[in-house]
Amino acid sequence: MKINKFDIETFKIASLCRNFEIKVFEAIRNKKIKIPVYLSGGQEYISATLSNIIKNNLKIKPLIFAQHRCHSTYLSFGGDKIKLIKELLGIKGGCTNSMGGSASIHSKEINMFGHDGHMGTQVPIGIGACFTSKKPTIIFMGDAAAEEDYVLGALGWASTKKLPILFIVEDNNLSILTEKKIRRNWDMHDVARSFKMKGYNLNDNPKEIFKYKKYFFKEPMLLNINTNRLFWHSGAGIDDPKIFDRFKNEKNKIGKKAKILDEKIKKNIDEIWKKQLEKL
Ligand SMILES: Cc1ncc(C[n+]2csc(CCOP(=O)(O)OP(=O)(O)O)c2C)c(N)n1
Ligand SMILES: [Mg+2]
C-alpha cells in the first residue's frame, strides 16, 4: 500500500484516541474513575478519518452532535485532553463542568454538544440546530439509536430541507449485546435513500471514507460505517479478543513510522494522565 500524508495524519489522530482510551480502561480497572464510562476503542478510525478530512482538508468547523460513545469524537475534533481527563475523574475544570461524565461530553471550543442520554435524540436536536443556523453539522449515532422513531422522522425533514448535515452511523452491530440481525431486517443506508438523500454502507477503512468527501455538507448524506467495538458496552472489559482491530491493521500497514509515532503519542498521553491522577 502506498502511504501518504493523509494516512499518517489519520493514524496520529487515531493513536491519540486509542492511547487515551487505554488509559481510561486502566483508570476504570484501578477504580480511579467511578462513573459509567463508554469506551470508543476499536471505533476510533471513524472520527479520526472524518476529522482529518473536515478539519485539516476542508477546513470546516462543524456543529458536532455525538452519542454516549464519544471520547474519540471529542479528541479527534480537537477537544482538550486534560479537560476530558478531569471530566472523567470528576476533578474541577472538566470539559462539561465535571458534571456530564463520559456520555455527555460538551465543548464550546469545538462546537460539540453534550448528549442527554436518550439514544438518538441528538439526531432531531442536531437537525434543528442546523435548520436554524444553516451551519455545516455532523451527527453521529449508533446502529441501535438509528432505530428510534424520532430519528427516522427527523431524517425525512433534513432531506426535505436539504440541510448541510453529515449523518454518521457508527455501526458496531451491537445494541449493548444484541446484534443487528436480531433487531431488524433493513439497513440504514437504504432508509436514507428512501428519504431521497445520499446513503452508503461502508467500513471504517480511511480510504473508503475519503471517497465520499466530495459530498460532505453539500447536501444531507448518511454514511453507515461498519466498525468493531473492542471493549464492553460500558466499563472496562473485553468481549472478543480476536475481533478485527482497524487501528492495529492500519498501524501494521504503515509500518515502522506508525510504531514510532504511536510510541511517542503513548508517552505523551501517559504523562498527561499521570499528572492528573496525582491530583486525586
Ligand atoms: C431511548 C433510549 N432507549 C434505551 C436506552 C438504553 N441504552 C443505552 S445505550 C443502548 C444501546 C445503544 O446502542 P447504539 O446506539 O448502537 O450505540 P453503541 O452503544 O453501540 O455505541 C441502549 C439500548 C437509552 N439510553 N435511551
Ligand atoms: Mg451499536
Query: Which atom of ligand 1 is closest in space to residue 172's alpha carbon?
Result: 20
Q: Which of 37, 47, 55 lies closest to 16 in space, CA to CA?
A: 47
d(CA 205, CA 247): 10
235 alpha carbon – ligand 1 mean position (Å): 14
32 alpha carbon – ligand 1 mean position (Å): 25
pTM of the model: 0.98
The answer to whether residues 149 and 121 touch, using CB atoms and an 8 Å cutoff, is no
d(CA 224, CA 127): 18
185 alpha carbon – ligand 1 mean position (Å): 18
Q: What's the pLDDT score for residue 130?
A: 98
Q: Which ligand does the CA of 120 lie closest to?
A: 1
**pLDDT, tens digit (0-9, with 9 covering 90-100), for 185-211:** 999 999 999 999 999 999 999 999 999
Query: Which atom of ligand 1 is closest in space to residue 233's alpha carbon?
Result: 19
Q: What's the pLDDT score for residue 2?
A: 83
Q: What's the pLDDT score for residue 1?
A: 65
Confidence of residue 250 (pLDDT cuts 50, 70, 90): very high
Report DSSP state, residue 231.
B
**pLDDT, tens digit (0-9, with 9 covering 90-100), for 67-102:** 999 999 999 999 999 999 999 999 999 999 999 999
Q: Atom 14 of ligand 1 has which residue's CA nearest to it?
A: 142
Query: Which atom of ligand 1 is closest in space to residue 145's alpha carbon?
Result: 15
Pairing label, strands 63-65, 112-113: parallel
255 alpha carbon – ligand 2 mean position (Å): 30
CB atoms within 10 A of CB 162: 12
Pairing label, strands 165-171, 221-226: parallel
67 alpha carbon – ligand 1 mean position (Å): 9
Q: What's the pLDDT score for residue 66?
A: 98
Write the DSSP string, 92-130.
TT-TTTT-S-GGG--BTTTTEEPP-SSTTTHHHHHHHHH
Q: Mean pLDDT over residues 233-239, rounded? A: 97
176 alpha carbon – ligand 1 mean position (Å): 7
Query: Which atom of ligand 1 is closest in space to residue 38's alpha carbon?
Result: 19
Query: Which atom of ligand 1 is closest in space to residue 143's alpha carbon?
Result: 16
Q: What's the pLDDT score for residue 68?
A: 98
Confidence of residue 3 (pLDDT cuts 50, 70, 90): confident
256 alpha carbon – ligand 1 mean position (Å): 38
Best probe residue, ligand 1, of 119, 169, 231 (max atoms within 8 Å of C-beta): 119
Q: What's the pLDDT score for residue 167?
A: 99
d(CA 152, CA 266): 40
Domains and CATH numbers, the chain: 5-277 (3.40.50.970)
Q: Atom 21 of ligand 1 has which residue's CA nearest to it?
A: 142
Is pLDDT of 221 > 70?
Answer: yes
Ligand 1, CB cutoff 6 Å, lining residues: 67-69, 117-119, 142-145, 170, 172, 174-176, 233
Residue bearing cell 511517542? 264
Share of the chain above pLDDT 70, in %: 100
**pLDDT, tens digit (0-9, with 9 covering 90-100), for 29-70:** 999 999 999 999 999 999 999 999 999 999 999 999 999 999
Greatest distance between any 2 Cα atoms in the chain: 53
The answer to whether residues 53 and 26 touch, using CB atoms and an 8 Å cutoff, is no
Pairing label, strands 112-113, 137-142: unpaired
CB atoms within 10 A of CB 194: 14
Best probe residue, ligand 1, of 175, 227, 229 (max atoms within 8 Å of C-beta): 175
Mapping DSSP onto H, E and C, the string for 16-71 reads: HHHHHHHHHHHHHHCCCCCCCCCCCCCCHHHHHHHHHHHHHHCCCCCEEECCCCCH
The answer to whether residues 212 and 200 touch, using CB atoms and an 8 Å cutoff, is yes
First to last CA, the chain: 46
CB atoms within 10 A of CB 216: 21
